[in-house]
Amino acid sequence: MSEQAEMAAARAPAADASGGPVAGAELVRGQKTVADSRVEISRLMRPHDTNFAGNVHGGVLLGLMDEVAFLCASKYAQGYCVTVGVDRVEFHSPVRVGDLVTLRAAVNLTGRSSMEVGISIVAERPDRQDSDRRTNRCFFTMVAIDDEGGPTPVPELLCETSEDLTWQCEAKLRKELRVAYGAQLQAGICVTAGPSE
Ligand SMILES: CC(C)(COP(=O)(O)OP(=O)(O)OC[C@H]1O[C@@H](n2cnc3c(N)ncnc32)[C@H](O)[C@@H]1OP(=O)(O)O)[C@@H](O)C(=O)NCCC(=O)NCCS
């Protein structure tokens, strides 16, 4: 998906999902839509959020991503969720003190108990029009947890728009790559022989 399309998707209100409708996409019992899963939080970046270079510390942004991923997954699953993995954390441009950062999150893909949550961050100067820029994106894998701390099923995801299907397809690709990577490591592909005499 292009950066412009992604920005437009991130800006779109929940009730106005962009992309064309998917034929025959009708909600049945036990399902939820991508639109149902959307959440958004905003924070003003303050002086104590900065690193030695004067920009906002990557860890501050990561903490906010974790917060919005938790919010999105827990709202979608209607229960407690934990983070089990993070993929492709990207930092596109610096965030500065005084920026208002807005994090938008949605569920891209569900398994039995796991959900991939896609997060996009836009930063802007609150006192300047058209200053918004996409600064980060990343993908959190969250798992819904029961009272005993074990994984518990989540609602099936219904993709209503072509945009939803694109995100779902990309999430499936990330999952396949992750599994293939784990399998290759397990097979010992990187195990080197000891130093030769
Ligand atoms: C979440 C937890 C209970 C899952 O237990 P588990 O024994 O791995 O359970 P399973 O193997 O059945 O995996 C559960 C789901 O998580 C997925 N999963 C587990 N580890 C994963 C990882 N590293 N990356 C992506 N998905 C993962 C599995 O694919 C499975 O998905 P599915 O149900 O949709 O098919 C356990 O891994 C845990 O407690 N992890 C620590 C979580 C934590 O403390 N996070 C930080 C604070 S929030």
Under a CB-based contact definition with an 8 Å cutoff, are residues 30 and 156 in contact? yes
Total number of residues shown for the chain? 197
192 domain residue, yes or no: no
d(CA 26, CA 73): 22
Q: For residue 35, tell me if it sits in a domain.
A: yes
Span from the CA of 151 to the centroid of ligand 1 (angstroms): 7
- Ligand 1 geometric centre to CA of 23 (Å): 33
Q: Distance (Å, rounded) from C-alpha 17 to C-alpha 24?
A: 16
Nearest-CA residue for ligand 1 atom 14 is: 151
Residue 20 covered by a domain: no
**Does ligand 1 come within 6 angstroms of the Cβ of 151?**
yes
Total domains in the chain come to: 1
CA of 84 to the centre of ligand 1 (A): 5
103: in domain = yes
> In this predicted structure, what is the pLDDT of residue 142?
98
* Tokens 């990577």 sit on residue: 181
Q: Residue 6: what pLDDT?
A: 54
Looking up tokens 């399309």 gives: 5
- For residue 62, what is the domain's CATH number? 3.10.129.10
- Taken in order 140, 40, 73, 154, the sign of the CA dihedral is negative
- How many Cβ atoms are within 10 Å of 169's Cβ, its own excluded? 12
105 alpha carbon to ligand 1 midpoint, in Å? Answer: 20
| pTM (predicted TM-score) | 0.88
Instruction: Give the span between the Cα atoms of 178 and 184, in whole angstroms.
Output: 10
Residue 37 belongs to domain spanning:
3-14+28-186
Among 86, 114, 139, which residue has the most ligand 1 atoms within 8 Å of its CB, making it the best to mutate? 114
Q: Whose CA is nearest to atom 19 of ligand 1?
A: 84
Q: What is the pLDDT of residue 94?
A: 95
172 Cβ inside 6 Å of ligand 1: no
Residue 197, pLDDT score: 59
In a domain, 19, yes or no: no
Side chain identity at residue 73, one-letter code: A
pLDDT value, residue 2: 52
Ranges assigned E (strand) in the chain: 31-33, 39-44, 81-91, 100-110, 114-124, 133-144, 156-158
pLDDT beneath 50: ranges in the chain: 4, 7-17
- The two tokens of residue 152 are 């518990």
